[in-house]
Chain A
Amino acid sequence: MKKSGYIKLVLMATALSACSNSKSDRERAVYMRSDTTAHYSRAHGMGMGLGYLGYYYAFRPYGSYGAGGGFARTGYYSGAINKGSNIGTNGVKGTAVRGGFGGTVRSSAS
């Protein structure tokens, strides 16, 4: 036989549907974090799959690229956080810059 005997997926359907479906108010309220450089606050254990992706996809920042290529965050896809929020604490908070990769996209990568 040349084919796989059995195919199991542990992540796929959940991951991709999480990208296209909006979160319920309850989910958004539970999975809160302060901003992109602070730790997430966790309401559940860190198991992979639905729990992990649930909080993760709820807080994608959105914004735009400036002339220099830097990413300026203007808010979050989740309505559970204010764009001015900056209440987390972290040893390197404020020293990380983002948005320096991903600007060349022409179509699919292949």
Chain B
Amino acid sequence: MKRHNITPRIGWQQKVEELGFNFHTLESPYWDESVYYEFSMTEVETLEKATNDLWELSLNAVQYVIDNNLYHQFHIPEWFIPHIEDSWNNDAPAIYGRFDFAFNNGKPKLLEFNADTPTSLFESSVVQWHWLQDFDERCDQFNSIHEKLIACWSYLKEYLHPGYLHFTTARDSAEDLTTTEYMRDCAIQAGLETKFLYLDEIGWDTTFPQFLDLEDSIIRNIFKLYPYEWLVHEEFGQNILKDRSKTLWIEPSWKMILSSKAILPILWKLNYGHDNLLESYFESDKELAGSSFAKKPILSREGANIQLMNNGKMLAETSGEYGEEGYIYQALCTLPDFDGQYPLIGSWIVGQESAGIGIRESNSLITDNASRFVPHLIRQ
């Protein structure tokens, strides 16, 4: 893995906007093509294998949590457990997830799994692919996300309820809207009939308990880019179980187990010593983590409320509003240092297959919502 400084394309802002990528610059550039990372094919194959292996381990871990009724460790409300178990037992359609890796000396280590609402999908799938066409189209890239998403929607088609597939997200986030609309784009190309509505536009029929869209049509299938831990605590949350139409929610609710940091100690316990996992413990066993660890909230987003300790000394820390559900302790594994720039690799699983990577680069050891997305390529 090598880092290269380059000159951005002339007019890159217009080029990415033409693709529909309108949040390329926040307070500073979020999309950063003044840099790219180069991988060898061996490194890519290592990442691909790690992603496929971890997906398999993750599915086993979900079964373990369900079989052993460990929901309390995830702070999942008891009333929602039947929905999770139904979605698992009925193989409710799931489409994607993103494993975040620290990649040092050719070895990927799992930092966390964004299994429910992963973003940076459009940047990974489309924007960096177009960048490569301009930069050096002869080069390869670890990125078949787009065609795998279309293929996956196409495969899932027969498992959906008849009718439209709705798409929803919250208002006022260009990033989330982009991810949702991109996903809808892929579903349309797979031949599905779709509609978009914002979350607050979802209706609840008080006469015949079911969810309705803006045309008062029944919502039978819905892709939501909104975390389950938020959904279940909102006014309509409990309606998900009362819904007589048994709407298919995508991602399915069993992903609530995998998207929590509480899965990390369980993965470690079930796969002790695995090459791609880091030692991880719940608070009750935190002394096992020693004096060098990452302390992470069980539920958190965008790198908030994380502490990195090295030999008992604070290495880095972020603030935020998470942590009330408790923390997990993970063996310290810092991101690789490229002259003060720290890349995190987000490795996509689409359907059941590793599909490609996106890289977030940060000036600090903790990747957060200010970290930049940088493209990559493969050189033989």
Instruction: Determine the main DSSP class of B at the interface with A.
Output: mixed
**Does B169 lie at the interface of the complex (its beta carbon under 8 Å from any beta carbon of A)?**
yes
A101–chain B nearest beta-carbon distance, Å: 4
The interface bits of chain B over 181-214 (1 if a CB of A lies within 8 angstroms of the residue's CB, else 0) are 1101100110000101011111111111000101
- Partner among A20, A36, A104 whose Cβ is within 8 Å of the Cβ of B234: A104
A109 touches B207 (CB 8 A): no
**Does B67 lie at the interface of the complex (its beta carbon under 8 Å from any beta carbon of A)?**
no
What chain B residues lie within 8 Å of A87 (beta carbons)? none
B181 touches A15 (CB 8 A): yes
What chain A residues lie within 8 Å of B20 (beta carbons)? 9, 12-17
- Partner among B119, B126, B202 whose Cβ is within 8 Å of the Cβ of A109: B119
Q: Which of A22-30, A78-86, A88-96 contacts B (4 or more CB under 8 A)?
A: A88-96
A23–chain B nearest beta-carbon distance, Å: 17
**Does B230 lie at the interface of the complex (its beta carbon under 8 Å from any beta carbon of A)?**
yes
Complex alpha-carbon distance, A32 and B88, angstroms: 42
Knowing A13-B18, A20-B22, A100-B236 touch, does A7 contact B204 (C-beta < 8 A)? no
B214 touches A36 (CB 8 A): yes
- Partner among A12, A17, A56, A107 whose Cβ is within 8 Å of the Cβ of B173: A107
What chain B residues lie within 8 Å of A17 (beta carbons)? 20, 22
B188–chain A nearest beta-carbon distance, Å: 6
**Does B374 lie at the interface of the complex (its beta carbon under 8 Å from any beta carbon of A)?**
no
The interface bits of chain A over 96-110 (1 if a CB of B lies within 8 angstroms of the residue's CB, else 0) are 111111111111111
- Partner among B22, B44, B118 whose Cβ is within 8 Å of the Cβ of A16: B22
**Does B32 lie at the interface of the complex (its beta carbon under 8 Å from any beta carbon of A)?**
no
Complex alpha-carbon distance, A99 and B174, angstroms: 20
B181 touches A2 (CB 8 A): no
**Does B176 lie at the interface of the complex (its beta carbon under 8 Å from any beta carbon of A)?**
yes
**Does B175 lie at the interface of the complex (its beta carbon under 8 Å from any beta carbon of A)?**
yes
- Name the residue on A nearest B378 (C-beta): A2
Scoring A5, A36, A101 by chain B CB atoms within 10 A of each residue's CB, the highest score goes to: A101
What chain A residues lie within 8 Å of B239 (beta carbons)? 100
- Name the residue on A nearest B225 (C-beta): A109
A2 touches B142 (CB 8 A): yes
A96 touches B234 (CB 8 A): no
- Name the residue on A nearest B130 (C-beta): A7
B117 touches A110 (CB 8 A): yes
A106 touches B235 (CB 8 A): no
Q: Which of B5-13, B49-57, B143-151, B323-331 contacts A (4 or more CB under 8 A)?
A: B143-151
What chain B residues lie within 8 Å of A16 (beta carbons)? 20, 22, 174, 177-178, 181
- Partner among B126, B175, B206 whose Cβ is within 8 Å of the Cβ of A96: B206
B184–chain A nearest beta-carbon distance, Å: 6
A43–chain B nearest beta-carbon distance, Å: 16
Complex alpha-carbon distance, A44 and B189, angstroms: 22
**Does B19 lie at the interface of the complex (its beta carbon under 8 Å from any beta carbon of A)?**
yes
B215 touches A7 (CB 8 A): no
- Name the residue on B nearest A19 (C-beta): B177
What chain A residues lie within 8 Å of B225 (beta carbons)? 109-110
A98–chain B nearest beta-carbon distance, Å: 5
B61–chain A nearest beta-carbon distance, Å: 20
Task: List residues of chain B with CB under 8 Å of any chain A CB.
Answer: 18-20, 22, 44, 114, 117-120, 122, 125-126, 129-130, 132, 140-147, 168-178, 181-182, 184-185, 188-189, 194, 196, 198-208, 212, 214-216, 225-227, 230-231, 233-237, 239, 301-302, 321, 356, 369, 378
Can you list 20 A-B contacts (CB < 8 A)? A2-B141, A3-B144, A12-B181, A36-B201, A71-B200, A92-B205, A92-B216, A95-B205, A95-B206, A96-B203, A96-B206, A101-B226, A102-B198, A102-B199, A103-B200, A105-B170, A105-B230, A108-B119, A108-B175, A109-B176
Task: List residues of chain A with CB under 8 Å of any chain B CB.
Answer: 1-5, 7-17, 19-20, 36-40, 48, 56, 60-61, 68-71, 90-93, 95-110
Given contacts A2-B378, A69-B235, A98-B201, list 6 more A-B pairs with CB under 8 A: A4-B125, A15-B20, A16-B22, A101-B202, A102-B199, A107-B173
